[in-house]
Amino acid sequence: MPSVASLAELVDRGGVYYNIGGANPVEALNEATKAMNLPKGLDRESLLTAILEREALMPTALGHGVAIPHPRNTMLSDSGSQRVAVFFLKTPIAYNALDRKPVSVLFLILSSDAKSHLATLAAISHLCQSQDFLDFLAKRPSKEELVARLKTAEAAWAKAAED
């Protein structure tokens, strides 16, 4: 789905992290931003503040145990620095999801422009509508397995767009 940047490429750049602690969204997001590899020039505290401000407007839980935290405004100027970091939480946490299910996976999105950001949100949301993909996430796949799965999904989307 994302035409600007491949979701697989964004996750490959952002990384996959395991056993992120936290008893609530603020604590989990704090631990996640501490763990992740940030693009050059992006301040960890500024990122956390921007994400928490966005969460205060409306929680980013998609449902089915997944949330997509992100800053409200872009914080990157270089499209080559865009990334999606995936965090598997040590323990599922309440996240004010509409389906009331606790969140166990975070897809933290860092984009350089609105078009890329919306395409990334759409791709993740689309994937998370599939029980098969949700079951795959529940197994806490390796970065390599997740990136391969995303490449397969994106290839299927491209083929469907051609038909």
Catalytically active residues, by annotation:
70
Assess contact for 54 and 61: CB atoms under 8 A: no
41: Cβ contacts below 8 Å, ≥ 6 apart? none
DSSP 24-38: SHHHHHHHHHHHS-P
- Tokens linked to 39: 């693009």
CB 70 within 8 A of CB 90: no
CB 2 within 8 A of CB 122: yes
- Phi, psi (rounded to 5 degrees) for 74: -65, 145
The token duo for 151 is 């490449």
Determine the Cα–Cα distance for residues 91 and 139; give it in Å rounded to an integer. Answer: 14
